[in-house]
Chain A
Amino acid sequence: MDKPELIINGKRLDGRTPEQLRPIKITAGPIRNAAGSAYIEWGTNKILAAVYGPREALPKHTSDPDKAIIKCRYTMAPFSSLEEHGRPGMNRRAIEISKVTKEVFENVVLLDLFPGNEISIFVEVLQSDGGTRAAGITCAAVALAASGIPMRDIPYAVSVGKAGDTLILDMNKTEDNYSNADMPVAINPRTKEITLLQMDGELTPEQVRQGMAMIDKAGETITRIQREALRRPYEKVQEKYKASI
Protein backbone atom coordinates (compact mmCIF):
# COMPACT_ATOMS: atom_id res chain seq x y z
CA MET A 1 0.00 0.00 0.00
CA ASP A 2 1.26 3.47 -0.81
CA LYS A 3 2.37 5.48 2.15
CA PRO A 4 -0.22 8.23 2.65
CA GLU A 5 0.78 11.82 3.24
CA LEU A 6 0.41 12.26 6.96
CA ILE A 7 0.35 16.05 6.76
CA ILE A 8 -1.31 18.08 4.04
CA ASN A 9 -1.30 21.86 4.31
CA GLY A 10 -0.36 21.69 7.95
CA LYS A 11 -3.26 19.39 8.84
CA ARG A 12 -3.00 15.73 9.80
CA LEU A 13 -5.26 12.96 8.48
CA ASP A 14 -7.80 13.56 11.24
CA GLY A 15 -7.64 17.33 10.89
CA ARG A 16 -5.30 17.98 13.84
CA THR A 17 -2.31 20.28 13.80
CA PRO A 18 1.08 18.68 14.56
CA GLU A 19 0.95 19.74 18.23
CA GLN A 20 -2.66 18.86 18.87
CA LEU A 21 -3.85 16.15 21.25
CA ARG A 22 -6.82 13.95 20.49
CA PRO A 23 -9.85 14.57 22.73
CA ILE A 24 -9.49 12.92 26.16
CA LYS A 25 -12.21 12.02 28.65
CA ILE A 26 -11.55 10.32 31.99
CA THR A 27 -14.06 8.96 34.50
CA ALA A 28 -13.03 7.74 37.95
CA GLY A 29 -14.58 4.77 39.72
CA PRO A 30 -16.26 2.44 37.17
CA ILE A 31 -15.04 -0.82 38.79
CA ARG A 32 -16.63 -1.01 42.21
CA ASN A 33 -14.69 -3.99 43.49
CA ALA A 34 -11.35 -2.29 42.93
CA ALA A 35 -9.60 -0.05 45.46
CA GLY A 36 -9.46 2.56 42.69
CA SER A 37 -10.38 2.56 39.02
CA ALA A 38 -10.68 4.82 36.01
CA TYR A 39 -11.87 4.68 32.41
CA ILE A 40 -10.31 6.76 29.62
CA GLU A 41 -11.41 7.61 26.11
CA TRP A 42 -8.41 9.05 24.31
CA GLY A 43 -9.31 9.62 20.66
CA THR A 44 -10.99 6.30 19.89
CA ASN A 45 -8.89 4.41 22.45
CA LYS A 46 -11.03 3.01 25.25
CA ILE A 47 -9.08 1.75 28.24
CA LEU A 48 -9.95 0.62 31.77
CA ALA A 49 -7.52 0.71 34.67
CA ALA A 50 -8.04 -0.72 38.14
CA VAL A 51 -5.95 -0.98 41.28
CA TYR A 52 -6.09 -3.62 44.01
CA GLY A 53 -4.16 -3.41 47.27
CA PRO A 54 -2.09 -2.84 49.21
CA ARG A 55 -2.59 -6.51 49.97
CA GLU A 56 -0.36 -9.34 50.98
CA ALA A 57 2.16 -10.07 48.23
CA LEU A 58 1.61 -13.63 47.03
CA PRO A 59 3.27 -15.87 46.19
CA LYS A 60 5.53 -15.15 49.10
CA HIS A 61 8.73 -15.29 47.12
CA THR A 62 7.65 -12.17 45.22
CA SER A 63 7.32 -10.11 48.41
CA ASP A 64 9.85 -7.60 49.72
CA PRO A 65 10.13 -7.31 53.51
CA ASP A 66 11.15 -3.66 53.26
CA LYS A 67 8.55 -2.23 50.96
CA ALA A 68 5.50 -2.90 48.84
CA ILE A 69 5.98 -4.20 45.29
CA ILE A 70 4.01 -3.10 42.27
CA LYS A 71 2.56 -5.68 39.90
CA CYS A 72 1.27 -4.44 36.59
CA ARG A 73 -0.67 -6.21 33.88
CA TYR A 74 -1.41 -4.53 30.55
CA THR A 75 -3.53 -6.56 28.12
CA MET A 76 -5.60 -5.91 25.03
CA ALA A 77 -9.05 -7.39 24.53
CA PRO A 78 -9.32 -9.76 21.55
CA PHE A 79 -11.96 -7.44 20.10
CA SER A 80 -9.94 -4.26 20.60
CA SER A 81 -8.49 -3.82 17.12
CA LEU A 82 -10.19 -3.10 13.84
CA GLU A 83 -8.24 -5.98 12.34
CA GLU A 84 -8.54 -9.64 13.16
CA HIS A 85 -9.66 -11.22 16.38
CA GLY A 86 -6.69 -11.20 18.73
CA ARG A 87 -5.55 -13.81 21.18
CA PRO A 88 -6.58 -13.36 24.79
CA GLY A 89 -3.83 -12.98 27.35
CA MET A 90 -0.42 -11.40 27.04
CA ASN A 91 1.99 -11.34 24.14
CA ARG A 92 5.59 -10.12 24.31
CA ARG A 93 4.64 -6.53 23.55
CA ALA A 94 2.13 -6.58 26.41
CA ILE A 95 4.71 -8.04 28.77
CA GLU A 96 7.15 -5.24 27.97
CA ILE A 97 4.50 -2.54 28.33
CA SER A 98 3.47 -4.05 31.67
CA LYS A 99 7.03 -3.76 32.87
CA VAL A 100 7.68 -0.17 31.82
CA THR A 101 4.28 0.85 33.21
CA LYS A 102 5.10 -0.77 36.53
CA GLU A 103 8.31 1.24 36.66
CA VAL A 104 6.42 4.52 36.27
CA PHE A 105 4.38 3.77 39.36
CA GLU A 106 7.28 2.37 41.38
CA ASN A 107 8.65 5.89 41.16
CA VAL A 108 5.65 7.70 42.62
CA VAL A 109 3.92 5.35 45.06
CA LEU A 110 5.16 5.56 48.68
CA LEU A 111 6.12 1.90 48.79
CA ASP A 112 7.97 2.06 52.13
CA LEU A 113 4.70 2.36 53.99
CA PHE A 114 3.52 -1.15 53.14
CA PRO A 115 6.31 -3.70 53.49
CA GLY A 116 5.48 -7.25 52.44
CA ASN A 117 2.50 -6.06 50.38
CA GLU A 118 1.73 -5.73 46.70
CA ILE A 119 -0.17 -3.10 44.75
CA SER A 120 -1.67 -4.54 41.56
CA ILE A 121 -2.39 -2.30 38.61
CA PHE A 122 -4.47 -3.68 35.74
CA VAL A 123 -4.74 -1.93 32.39
CA GLU A 124 -7.28 -3.38 29.94
CA VAL A 125 -7.39 -1.99 26.44
CA LEU A 126 -10.96 -2.47 25.22
CA GLN A 127 -10.51 -0.55 21.99
CA SER A 128 -7.18 0.55 20.48
CA ASP A 129 -6.12 3.27 18.09
CA GLY A 130 -2.46 4.06 18.78
CA GLY A 131 -0.85 5.40 21.96
CA THR A 132 -2.41 2.81 24.24
CA ARG A 133 0.56 2.58 26.56
CA ALA A 134 0.47 6.32 27.20
CA ALA A 135 -3.29 6.35 27.62
CA GLY A 136 -3.05 3.32 29.92
CA ILE A 137 -0.52 5.04 32.18
CA THR A 138 -2.51 8.29 32.24
CA CYS A 139 -5.62 6.33 33.20
CA ALA A 140 -3.92 4.07 35.76
CA ALA A 141 -2.51 7.15 37.48
CA VAL A 142 -6.04 8.39 38.10
CA ALA A 143 -7.12 4.95 39.35
CA LEU A 144 -4.21 4.93 41.79
CA ALA A 145 -4.93 8.43 43.07
CA ALA A 146 -8.58 7.47 43.56
CA SER A 147 -7.60 4.43 45.62
CA GLY A 148 -6.16 6.36 48.55
CA ILE A 149 -2.74 4.75 48.16
CA PRO A 150 -0.27 7.56 48.90
CA MET A 151 1.73 8.93 45.94
CA ARG A 152 4.14 11.79 45.46
CA ASP A 153 2.64 12.88 42.14
CA ILE A 154 0.18 11.80 39.43
CA PRO A 155 2.11 10.89 36.26
CA TYR A 156 0.84 11.36 32.72
CA ALA A 157 2.17 10.00 29.43
CA VAL A 158 2.00 10.81 25.73
CA SER A 159 4.09 10.06 22.67
CA VAL A 160 5.68 12.02 19.87
CA GLY A 161 6.33 10.82 16.31
CA LYS A 162 7.31 12.16 12.95
CA ALA A 163 5.40 12.79 9.74
CA GLY A 164 8.14 13.19 7.18
CA ASP A 165 10.33 15.66 9.01
CA THR A 166 7.60 17.25 11.11
CA LEU A 167 7.20 16.19 14.71
CA ILE A 168 3.64 15.14 15.53
CA LEU A 169 2.19 14.70 18.98
CA ASP A 170 -0.02 11.78 20.02
CA MET A 171 -0.17 9.58 16.95
CA ASN A 172 -3.17 7.47 16.14
CA LYS A 173 -2.73 3.98 14.72
CA THR A 174 -2.48 5.00 11.07
CA GLU A 175 0.09 7.69 11.83
CA ASP A 176 2.05 5.26 14.01
CA ASN A 177 2.14 2.74 11.14
CA TYR A 178 3.69 5.24 8.75
CA SER A 179 5.75 7.38 11.10
CA ASN A 180 9.51 6.87 11.21
CA ALA A 181 9.80 7.67 14.89
CA ASP A 182 7.88 6.91 18.06
CA MET A 183 8.87 8.27 21.45
CA PRO A 184 6.51 7.62 24.36
CA VAL A 185 7.30 9.52 27.55
CA ALA A 186 5.80 9.51 31.05
CA ILE A 187 6.37 12.47 33.36
CA ASN A 188 5.75 13.45 36.97
CA PRO A 189 4.22 16.88 36.36
CA ARG A 190 5.27 18.57 39.62
CA THR A 191 8.97 17.89 39.23
CA LYS A 192 9.12 17.17 35.46
CA GLU A 193 10.91 13.89 36.23
CA ILE A 194 10.81 11.47 33.31
CA THR A 195 9.86 7.99 34.46
CA LEU A 196 9.20 6.32 31.12
CA LEU A 197 11.23 6.98 28.01
CA GLN A 198 11.29 4.75 24.96
CA MET A 199 12.18 5.55 21.43
CA ASP A 200 12.17 3.72 18.13
CA GLY A 201 13.08 5.15 14.68
CA GLU A 202 15.09 8.22 13.74
CA LEU A 203 15.23 11.53 15.62
CA THR A 204 18.01 14.10 15.73
CA PRO A 205 19.01 15.32 19.21
CA GLU A 206 17.28 18.62 18.41
CA GLN A 207 14.09 16.74 17.51
CA VAL A 208 14.28 14.87 20.81
CA ARG A 209 14.49 18.23 22.60
CA GLN A 210 11.61 19.66 20.61
CA GLY A 211 9.58 16.52 21.20
CA MET A 212 10.09 16.85 24.94
CA ALA A 213 8.93 20.46 24.80
CA MET A 214 5.79 19.44 22.92
CA ILE A 215 5.10 16.78 25.51
CA ASP A 216 5.62 19.21 28.37
CA LYS A 217 3.09 21.60 26.87
CA ALA A 218 0.58 18.80 26.23
CA GLY A 219 1.06 17.78 29.86
CA GLU A 220 -0.77 20.92 30.98
CA THR A 221 -3.93 19.72 29.22
CA ILE A 222 -3.59 16.08 30.20
CA THR A 223 -2.99 16.79 33.88
CA ARG A 224 -5.94 19.19 33.96
CA ILE A 225 -8.18 16.41 32.63
CA GLN A 226 -6.80 13.98 35.23
CA ARG A 227 -7.45 16.48 38.04
CA GLU A 228 -10.99 17.12 36.86
CA ALA A 229 -11.70 13.39 36.77
CA LEU A 230 -10.56 13.05 40.36
CA ARG A 231 -12.54 15.99 41.66
CA ARG A 232 -15.77 15.38 39.76
CA PRO A 233 -17.30 12.67 42.01
CA TYR A 234 -16.92 14.94 45.04
CA GLU A 235 -18.18 18.02 43.27
CA LYS A 236 -21.21 16.08 42.05
CA VAL A 237 -22.24 15.32 45.62
CA GLN A 238 -21.74 18.95 46.60
CA GLU A 239 -23.91 20.08 43.70
CA LYS A 240 -26.63 17.61 44.62
CA TYR A 241 -27.09 19.25 47.99
CA LYS A 242 -25.97 22.70 46.89
CA ALA A 243 -23.62 22.44 49.82
CA SER A 244 -20.05 23.45 50.39
CA ILE A 245 -17.15 21.41 51.66
Chain B
Amino acid sequence: MNISTITEQYVRERLTKGVREGGRGMFEFRNMTLEIGKMINAEGSAEINLGNTKVLVGVKLDVGEPMRDKPDEGSIMTGCELLPLAHHSYDAGPPSAESVELARVIDRGIRAANIIDLKKLFIEEGKSWNVFIDVYVLNYDGNLFDAGTTAAVAALSNARMPRYEDSKVIREGNLGKLEIANMATSCTFAKVAGTIVLDTDGNEEDFSEARLTVANDEKAVRAMQKGLGGSFTPKEVDKLVETAFEKSKDLRRIIKSSKVD
Protein backbone atom coordinates (compact mmCIF):
# COMPACT_ATOMS: atom_id res chain seq x y z
CA MET B 1 0.00 0.00 0.00
CA ASN B 2 1.45 3.33 -0.92
CA ILE B 3 0.23 5.35 2.03
CA SER B 4 0.83 5.17 5.71
CA THR B 5 -1.67 2.70 6.96
CA ILE B 6 -1.64 3.90 10.51
CA THR B 7 -1.57 7.31 12.12
CA GLU B 8 1.12 8.41 14.53
CA GLN B 9 -1.52 8.77 17.21
CA TYR B 10 -2.52 5.12 16.78
CA VAL B 11 1.09 3.90 17.08
CA ARG B 12 1.90 6.16 20.01
CA GLU B 13 -1.17 5.08 22.00
CA ARG B 14 -0.48 1.41 21.48
CA LEU B 15 3.25 1.51 22.14
CA THR B 16 2.95 3.53 25.34
CA LYS B 17 0.60 0.76 26.51
CA GLY B 18 3.14 -1.86 25.43
CA VAL B 19 0.96 -3.17 22.57
CA ARG B 20 2.37 -4.11 19.16
CA GLU B 21 0.82 -5.70 16.08
CA GLY B 22 0.19 -9.39 16.52
CA GLY B 23 0.68 -9.17 20.30
CA ARG B 24 4.46 -9.00 19.94
CA GLY B 25 6.70 -8.01 22.86
CA MET B 26 8.66 -4.76 22.75
CA PHE B 27 11.96 -6.63 22.48
CA GLU B 28 10.74 -9.61 20.55
CA PHE B 29 11.76 -10.56 17.03
CA ARG B 30 9.05 -11.45 14.53
CA ASN B 31 8.87 -14.99 13.27
CA MET B 32 12.15 -15.80 11.50
CA THR B 33 12.79 -18.55 8.95
CA LEU B 34 16.09 -19.25 7.20
CA GLU B 35 16.49 -21.33 4.07
CA ILE B 36 20.05 -22.20 3.16
CA GLY B 37 21.70 -23.11 -0.09
CA LYS B 38 18.76 -22.89 -2.50
CA MET B 39 20.76 -20.89 -5.06
CA ILE B 40 23.12 -23.57 -6.27
CA ASN B 41 25.06 -21.43 -8.77
CA ALA B 42 26.17 -19.21 -5.92
CA GLU B 43 28.86 -20.56 -3.63
CA GLY B 44 26.58 -19.82 -0.71
CA SER B 45 23.08 -18.46 -0.25
CA ALA B 46 20.45 -17.90 2.41
CA GLU B 47 16.91 -16.60 2.20
CA ILE B 48 15.43 -15.10 5.35
CA ASN B 49 11.85 -14.25 6.19
CA LEU B 50 11.61 -11.92 9.19
CA GLY B 51 7.90 -11.29 9.52
CA ASN B 52 7.06 -10.18 5.97
CA THR B 53 10.53 -8.87 5.25
CA LYS B 54 12.16 -11.18 2.73
CA VAL B 55 15.90 -10.96 1.93
CA LEU B 56 18.05 -13.25 -0.21
CA VAL B 57 21.83 -13.20 0.23
CA GLY B 58 24.14 -14.73 -2.36
CA VAL B 59 27.85 -15.38 -1.82
CA LYS B 60 30.30 -15.73 -4.70
CA LEU B 61 34.06 -16.22 -4.60
CA ASP B 62 36.34 -15.12 -7.45
CA VAL B 63 40.08 -15.06 -7.83
CA GLY B 64 41.52 -11.62 -8.35
CA GLU B 65 44.26 -9.22 -7.33
CA PRO B 66 44.56 -8.40 -3.65
CA MET B 67 44.00 -4.82 -2.51
CA ARG B 68 47.13 -2.75 -2.98
CA ASP B 69 47.42 -1.92 0.72
CA LYS B 70 46.84 -5.54 1.81
CA PRO B 71 48.83 -7.61 -0.68
CA ASP B 72 48.79 -10.82 1.35
CA GLU B 73 45.07 -11.01 2.02
CA GLY B 74 41.83 -11.74 0.26
CA SER B 75 38.90 -9.34 0.41
CA ILE B 76 35.22 -9.09 1.20
CA MET B 77 32.85 -6.87 -0.77
CA THR B 78 29.29 -6.43 0.41
CA GLY B 79 26.64 -4.96 -1.84
CA CYS B 80 22.97 -4.36 -1.25
CA GLU B 81 20.12 -3.97 -3.72
CA LEU B 82 16.80 -2.56 -2.62
CA LEU B 83 15.05 -4.18 -5.55
CA PRO B 84 12.23 -2.12 -6.99
CA LEU B 85 9.98 -5.16 -6.66
CA ALA B 86 10.40 -5.07 -2.87
CA HIS B 87 8.41 -1.91 -2.19
CA HIS B 88 6.44 0.64 -4.17
CA SER B 89 8.84 3.41 -3.15
CA TYR B 90 11.99 1.63 -4.36
CA ASP B 91 13.25 2.93 -7.69
CA ALA B 92 15.64 1.34 -10.10
CA GLY B 93 18.82 3.34 -10.54
CA PRO B 94 22.09 4.03 -8.78
CA PRO B 95 22.34 2.81 -5.17
CA SER B 96 20.55 5.08 -2.73
CA ALA B 97 22.24 6.26 0.46
CA GLU B 98 19.91 3.85 2.27
CA SER B 99 21.15 0.82 0.38
CA VAL B 100 24.80 1.88 0.69
CA GLU B 101 24.46 2.36 4.45
CA LEU B 102 22.81 -1.04 4.75
CA ALA B 103 25.61 -2.74 2.82
CA ARG B 104 28.35 -1.01 4.78
CA VAL B 105 26.81 -1.73 8.19
CA ILE B 106 26.26 -5.41 7.37
CA ASP B 107 29.81 -5.55 6.04
CA ARG B 108 31.23 -3.88 9.14
CA GLY B 109 29.75 -6.45 11.50
CA ILE B 110 31.09 -9.33 9.42
CA ARG B 111 34.52 -7.78 8.98
CA ALA B 112 35.03 -6.60 12.56
CA ALA B 113 34.06 -10.00 13.90
CA ASN B 114 36.65 -11.63 11.64
CA ILE B 115 34.09 -14.13 10.43
CA ILE B 116 36.49 -14.89 7.61
CA ASP B 117 40.26 -14.89 8.15
CA LEU B 118 41.28 -12.78 5.18
CA LYS B 119 44.85 -14.04 5.35
CA LYS B 120 43.59 -17.54 4.60
CA LEU B 121 42.13 -16.24 1.34
CA PHE B 122 45.59 -15.47 -0.02
CA ILE B 123 46.62 -17.81 -2.86
CA GLU B 124 49.95 -16.65 -4.27
CA GLU B 125 51.59 -13.36 -5.21
CA GLY B 126 49.10 -11.20 -7.06
CA LYS B 127 46.23 -13.63 -6.50
CA SER B 128 43.73 -14.01 -3.71
CA TRP B 129 40.11 -14.93 -3.19
CA ASN B 130 37.59 -12.11 -3.22
CA VAL B 131 34.35 -12.84 -1.41
CA PHE B 132 31.27 -11.09 -2.80
CA ILE B 133 28.24 -10.84 -0.53
CA ASP B 134 25.09 -9.58 -2.25
CA VAL B 135 22.14 -8.66 -0.09
CA TYR B 136 19.04 -8.77 -2.29
CA VAL B 137 15.98 -7.28 -0.64
CA LEU B 138 12.91 -8.99 -2.11
CA ASN B 139 10.08 -7.68 0.11
CA TYR B 140 10.39 -4.79 2.54
CA ASP B 141 8.53 -4.77 5.82
CA GLY B 142 11.07 -3.22 8.16
CA ASN B 143 14.41 -4.11 9.76
CA LEU B 144 16.52 -4.83 6.73
CA PHE B 145 19.64 -4.57 8.93
CA ASP B 146 18.97 -7.64 11.02
CA ALA B 147 17.41 -9.60 8.18
CA GLY B 148 20.44 -8.83 6.00
CA THR B 149 23.09 -9.56 8.62
CA THR B 150 21.50 -12.82 9.73
CA ALA B 151 21.10 -14.07 6.16
CA ALA B 152 24.62 -12.95 5.21
CA VAL B 153 26.21 -14.77 8.14
CA ALA B 154 24.08 -17.86 7.44
CA ALA B 155 25.08 -17.80 3.76
CA LEU B 156 28.78 -17.52 4.64
CA SER B 157 28.50 -20.29 7.23
CA ASN B 158 27.25 -22.68 4.58
CA ALA B 159 29.29 -21.63 1.58
CA ARG B 160 31.37 -23.93 -0.63
CA MET B 161 35.02 -23.14 -1.11
CA PRO B 162 35.98 -23.31 -4.80
CA ARG B 163 39.47 -24.51 -5.77
CA TYR B 164 42.09 -22.72 -7.79
CA GLU B 165 44.01 -25.13 -10.04
CA ASP B 166 46.05 -24.52 -13.18
CA SER B 167 45.00 -20.89 -13.17
CA LYS B 168 41.34 -21.90 -13.26
CA VAL B 169 38.58 -21.60 -10.69
CA ILE B 170 36.88 -24.95 -10.06
CA ARG B 171 33.35 -24.40 -8.80
CA GLU B 172 31.89 -27.87 -9.13
CA GLY B 173 32.68 -31.32 -7.89
CA ASN B 174 34.12 -32.28 -4.56
CA LEU B 175 34.54 -29.01 -2.73
CA GLY B 176 35.12 -28.18 0.90
CA LYS B 177 33.39 -25.45 2.85
CA LEU B 178 34.44 -21.85 3.20
CA GLU B 179 36.27 -21.64 6.50
CA ILE B 180 34.37 -19.59 9.06
CA ALA B 181 36.24 -18.37 12.13
CA ASN B 182 33.46 -16.69 14.06
CA MET B 183 29.80 -15.79 14.05
CA ALA B 184 28.20 -12.37 14.50
CA THR B 185 24.60 -11.25 14.63
CA SER B 186 22.86 -7.89 14.88
CA CYS B 187 19.92 -6.40 16.74
CA THR B 188 18.33 -3.21 15.52
CA PHE B 189 16.31 -1.06 17.87
CA ALA B 190 14.26 2.02 17.09
CA LYS B 191 12.60 4.80 19.03
CA VAL B 192 9.06 4.76 17.61
CA ALA B 193 6.78 7.62 18.65
CA GLY B 194 8.87 7.86 21.84
CA THR B 195 9.08 4.16 22.76
CA ILE B 196 12.11 1.94 22.07
CA VAL B 197 11.39 -1.42 20.41
CA LEU B 198 13.35 -4.19 18.72
CA ASP B 199 12.78 -5.28 15.11
CA THR B 200 10.48 -2.65 13.68
CA ASP B 201 8.04 -3.62 10.96
CA GLY B 202 7.35 -1.33 7.99
CA ASN B 203 4.58 0.60 9.70
CA GLU B 204 6.66 1.21 12.84
CA GLU B 205 9.56 2.38 10.70
CA ASP B 206 7.35 5.10 9.23
CA PHE B 207 7.27 6.64 12.70
CA SER B 208 10.81 5.86 13.85
CA GLU B 209 12.78 8.84 15.10
CA ALA B 210 16.08 7.14 15.87
CA ARG B 211 17.56 3.74 15.18
CA LEU B 212 20.46 1.78 16.65
CA THR B 213 21.98 -1.37 15.18
CA VAL B 214 24.29 -3.35 17.44
CA ALA B 215 26.30 -6.18 15.92
CA ASN B 216 28.10 -8.49 18.30
CA ASP B 217 29.58 -11.94 18.80
CA GLU B 218 29.78 -13.87 22.08
CA LYS B 219 32.61 -11.71 23.41
CA ALA B 220 32.27 -8.19 22.15
CA VAL B 221 30.38 -5.49 20.32
CA ARG B 222 31.70 -5.60 16.76
CA ALA B 223 29.85 -2.77 15.02
CA MET B 224 27.25 -0.17 15.76
CA GLN B 225 25.30 2.28 13.67
CA LYS B 226 22.93 4.93 14.79
CA GLY B 227 20.52 6.16 12.11
CA LEU B 228 17.80 8.74 11.52
CA GLY B 229 17.63 12.25 12.93
CA GLY B 230 16.71 11.54 16.58
CA SER B 231 18.98 10.65 19.48
CA PHE B 232 19.67 8.16 22.29
CA THR B 233 20.87 8.83 25.84
CA PRO B 234 23.99 7.02 27.11
CA LYS B 235 21.76 5.03 29.46
CA GLU B 236 19.58 3.93 26.52
CA VAL B 237 22.61 2.84 24.52
CA ASP B 238 23.89 0.88 27.51
CA LYS B 239 20.57 -0.92 27.89
CA LEU B 240 20.32 -1.67 24.18
CA VAL B 241 23.83 -3.10 24.00
CA GLU B 242 22.95 -5.35 26.93
CA THR B 243 19.70 -6.39 25.23
CA ALA B 244 21.55 -7.12 22.00
CA PHE B 245 23.92 -9.49 23.82
CA GLU B 246 20.94 -11.23 25.39
CA LYS B 247 18.99 -11.56 22.13
CA SER B 248 22.00 -12.57 20.07
CA LYS B 249 22.04 -15.98 21.77
CA ASP B 250 18.80 -16.87 19.98
CA LEU B 251 20.06 -15.51 16.68
CA ARG B 252 23.29 -17.52 16.86
CA ARG B 253 21.25 -20.60 17.68
CA ILE B 254 19.00 -20.08 14.65
CA ILE B 255 21.97 -19.64 12.32
CA LYS B 256 23.79 -22.65 13.78
CA SER B 257 20.76 -24.90 13.47
CA SER B 258 20.36 -23.90 9.83
CA LYS B 259 23.85 -25.14 8.99
CA VAL B 260 23.89 -27.99 6.51
CA ASP B 261 26.73 -30.41 7.02
Contact = CB atoms under 8 A, between A and B. Distances in A.
Direct contact of A and B (CB under 8 A): yes
Interface of A: 30-34, 37, 44, 46, 48-50, 52, 55, 73, 77-85, 88, 120, 122, 124, 126-129
B217 to A, nearest CB: 25
Nearest to B202: A33
Contact of A31 (B85, B132, B171): B85
B58 to A, nearest CB: 3
A78 B85 contact: no
A48 B38 CA distance: 14
Nearest to B44: A79
A122 B60 contact: no
Given A31-B138, A32-B52, A78 B58 contact: yes
Interface stretch (B15-23, B76-84, B113-121, B238-246): B76-84
A82 B58 contact: no
Contacts of A122: 83-85
B40 A78 contact: no
Interface string B105-148: 00000000000000000000000001010101011110000000
B59 interface: yes
A33 B39 CA distance: 23
B247 interface: no
Interface stretch (B25-33, B86-94, B191-199): B86-94
Contacts of A88: 79, 81, 134
A52 B87 CA distance: 9
B252 interface: no
Among A30, A79, A127, A128, find the residue whose CB has the most chain B CB atoms closer than 10 A: A79
A80 B56 CA distance: 12
A173 to B, nearest CB: 10
A81 B139 CA distance: 22
A82 B172 contact: yes
A73 B86 CA distance: 13
B42 interface: yes
A127 B60 CA distance: 13
Contacts of A32: 52, 139, 141
A79 B45 contact: yes
A56 to B, nearest CB: 10
B41 interface: yes
Nearest to B41: A82
Given A55-B88, A88-B79, A122-B83, A48 B138 contact: yes
Nearest to A120: B84
25 contacts: A30-B54, A30-B138, A31-B86, A32-B52, A48-B138, A49-B85, A52-B85, A77-B134, A78-B58, A78-B79, A78-B134, A79-B42, A79-B59, A79-B134, A80-B39, A80-B58, A84-B62, A85-B62, A85-B132, A88-B79, A88-B134, A124-B85, A124-B136, A126-B58, A127-B39
